[in-house]
Amino acid sequence: MTIERRAPRNDDVAIRITHCGICHSDLHMAHNDWGMSIYPMVPGHEIVGIVTAVGPDVTKYKVGDKVAVGCLVDSCQKCHQCTSGHEQFCVEGATLTYSSLDRRDGTITFGGYSDHIVTRQEFVLKLPDSLDISRAAPLLCAGITTYSPLKKYGVGPGQKVGVAGLGGLGHMGVKIAHALGAHVTMITTSPGKGDDARALGADEVLISKDADAMNAAAGTFDFILDTIPVGHDVNPYLNLLAPNGNMVLVGAIEPLPSVHGGLLAMRNRTLAGSLIGGLPETQEMLDFCGEHGIHPEIETIKLDEVNEAYDRLVRGDVRYRFVIDIEASRPAT
Amino acid sequence: MTIERRAPRNDDVAIRITHCGICHSDLHMAHNDWGMSIYPMVPGHEIVGIVTAVGPDVTKYKVGDKVAVGCLVDSCQKCHQCTSGHEQFCVEGATLTYSSLDRRDGTITFGGYSDHIVTRQEFVLKLPDSLDISRAAPLLCAGITTYSPLKKYGVGPGQKVGVAGLGGLGHMGVKIAHALGAHVTMITTSPGKGDDARALGADEVLISKDADAMNAAAGTFDFILDTIPVGHDVNPYLNLLAPNGNMVLVGAIEPLPSVHGGLLAMRNRTLAGSLIGGLPETQEMLDFCGEHGIHPEIETIKLDEVNEAYDRLVRGDVRYRFVIDIEASRPAT
């Protein structure tokens, strides 16, 4: 079937999509694993492209601009969450980039596995010139998901930071924490990932199955970014935190096995969670990555290779994010 | 047997104890529930009294001063935790007020169920004149344990704060959160505690067994202080937090049933823990309580009633803290 995009409204920006990242959540949404999917569906919320048209009220962008769209395409813009830059927590509910209902006309929103997208200007981000548009797309979800908690907890020089799990999120966590000036340790079950982690910017590698190494590192981390994408025992990681240390979950949106209250209370530790970021912080992240030359590590595919990519994603067989080259996937004209 | 206190060292303050609070942890320590007890034992770490003698190097106190001693009596005073006022996390290990080993001579420390105590001046606190010495003792543990997380998370006017559990800690949490200017909701399983909670300063009462009320309150709290003293399902409480809301455990130093990662991640929520406070913050708390006229609600007993008090503590039969009137328990001379 053909998905029609709306003609630009007065405040809309029309974007010719050049690339779109594949997020693991696309797979869950496609399969309705979370019971919230709306069909027909066009997944994709890591979108970059070029502005092709703007509505008459658009002031932020002009035709030809390099832009990006992330997980959100609308919100009320009036509540305290929206006005403080946390649109993802809009009191009325944010409109997601795909499989959500447009706030104005109730039509289904469609994402970035597509040739173009039309979005109101407030939800369009500027892609810094220093970023390579063919590699930047995963910043829109994997980038902001890791940047936001690192910034919230003030990660920077002099701090010992752990990143648990080396996948789409984890590899961005290592790169950003390193660029923020922290001493970064990759915490992984797989000794085989050590070289990769170091190449990404990790100063050390801690094997989580090595009980002696885990004991030796107990109480030494200021911050841990836990990107492990499934429910898992967080107690061994909490035990790595120093007093007043913070650990943030960005992957496991599932039940966790029993957490020991004493690991939190006896050392003023924190177990938190984090969900993407608002629009101002997403722009800040893009600018930061532009300034520091931070790109995701990607494998580029064509649009007709998505099903195969999903199969490989299930097996964890990607280093570290698939990006669909939409530009190269267009039918010859 | 007779417990001999040491003669004051050069930097010691000798204190005639007038009152000592009974903390639930005294019961666990007396019974060696945590496997760390050292006998003979004199429990008690909520101590107030009058200075009777000072060593020649003591500059902070003089004979006749009203003073207090809390959970700590010594630490290295050199590590980054000590020098930043977090002596409870001393890298070398803080010396506890009782059932611990003195750093200098290795003797067992003895607590406040006793006629006097000798402590180095850095670990002696000034009791503000505006506090009633006969009622102030529980501030030294229950007071600082609740004050510290309320301050760390910036609780104040315009914030909606929940206090879960109405016991020795919870009742102090309500009083202090109220004095800090927050809108306070007591969250309790027991409708019968509503009137008490309001009398303590709660603006509202939320019955945690009332599913409709819990649903209606979902996502509305900025901060929850969880004083429930045993392992319990924290998910219903996490669900009450607004985006970026924080919940702090101060009671449950036990395994918690499964925590749902999505409750944390999807709303940037935090589940943290907190352990007493350092010396500077404990003094700040005493000064704050003095300024605001905050006293614990207590039941005064004599020293020979401690065993009975312990039995009642196990049954939760105290509103809200036992204080031993040491002064009234002295043998007639």
- Asked if the Cβ–Cβ distance from A268 to B269 is below 8 Å, we say no
Tell me the per-residue pLDDT of A9-53, one tens digit each, with 9 for 90 and over: 999 999 999 999 999 999 999 999 989 999 999 999 999 999 999
Cβ-nearest to B265 among A244, A253, A260: A253
- Residue B77: the pLDDT is 96
Average pLDDT over residues B232-260: 96
Does residue B237 surpass a pLDDT of 80? yes
Taking CB atoms and an 8 Å cutoff, what residues of chain A touch B261? Answer: 231, 249, 252-256, 273
- Residue A191: the pLDDT is 87
Cβ-nearest to A256 among B86, B259, B275: B259
The total of other beta-carbon atoms located within 10 Å of residue A61's CB is 18
Tell me the per-residue pLDDT of A78-89, one tens digit each, with 9 for 90 and over: 999 999 999 999
pLDDT band at B6; cut points 50, 70, 90: confident
Q: Which of A271, A276, A281 to mutate to test the interface with B (most CBs of B within 10 A)?
A: A271
Q: What is the amino acid identity at position A270?
A: T
- Residue B312: the pLDDT is 95
- Residue A211: the pLDDT is 95
Q: Which residue of A has its CA nearest to B80?
A: A243
Task: State the complex-level ipTM.
Answer: 0.93
Average pLDDT over residues B105-113: 95
Identify the structural domains of chain A with CATH numbers, from first to last.
12-141+296-329 (3.90.180.10), 143-273 (3.40.50.720)
- Residue A316: the pLDDT is 86
- Asked if the Cβ–Cβ distance from B275 to A269 is below 8 Å, we say no
Given a contact cutoff of 8 angstroms between Cβ atoms, the answer to whether A225 and A250 are in contact is yes
Range A154-157, long-range pairs (CB < 8 A, 24+ positions): A155/A180, A155/A182, A155/A222, A155/A223, A156/A180, A156/A181, A156/A182, A157/A181, A157/A182
How many Å is the maximal CA-CA distance in chain A?
66
Average pLDDT over residues B79-107: 96
Backbone angles phi, psi at B77, to 5 degrees: 65, 10
The total of other beta-carbon atoms located within 10 Å of residue A271's CB is 27
Q: Which residue of A has its CA nearest to B270?
A: A272
Where residue A87 falls (left for φ over 0; alpha for ψ -120 to 50; beta otherwise) is alpha
* Two structure tokens written together for B169: 């800690």
Kindly give the residue spans of alpha helices, DSSP state H, lying in B124-258.
Answer: 142-152, 168-179, 194-200, 211-216, 235-238
- Residue B293: the pLDDT is 96
Share of chain A above pLDDT 90, in %: 92
Does residue A1 surpass a pLDDT of 60? no
Does residue B39 surpass a pLDDT of 90? yes
Alpha-carbon distance of B207 to B130, in angstroms, equals: 35
pLDDT, mean over chain A: 95
Average pLDDT over residues B182-194: 93
Whether B264 has its CB under 8 Å from any CB of chain A: the answer is yes
Given a contact cutoff of 8 angstroms between Cβ atoms, the answer to whether A72 and A99 are in contact is no
Whether B263 has its CB under 8 Å from any CB of chain A: the answer is yes
Does residue A4 surpass a pLDDT of 80? no
- Residue B1: the pLDDT is 57
Among A114, A140, A116, A111, smallest CA distance to A127 is for A140
pLDDT band at B156; cut points 50, 70, 90: very high
- Residue A6: the pLDDT is 84
Does residue B295 surpass a pLDDT of 90? yes
- Asked if the Cβ–Cβ distance from A259 to B271 is below 8 Å, we say yes
Q: Which residue of B has its CA nearest to A86?
A: B243
Per DSSP (E only), the strands in chain A are 12-22, 47-54, 66-69, 72-74, 95-96, 116-120, 125-126, 160-164, 183-188, 204-207, 221-226, 241-249, 255-256, 259-260, 270-273, 298-301, 321-325
Among B147, B138, B132, B101, smallest CA distance to B278 is for B147
Average pLDDT over residues A271-284: 98
Distance between start and end Cα atoms, chain A = 19
- Residue A2: the pLDDT is 66
Backbone angles phi, psi at B209, to 5 degrees: -85, -5
Average pLDDT over residues B215-234: 96
Where residue B284 falls (left for φ over 0; alpha for ψ -120 to 50; beta otherwise) is alpha
Tell me the per-residue pLDDT of A42-60, one tens digit each, with 9 for 90 and over: 999 999 999 999 999 999 9
pLDDT, mean over chain B: 95
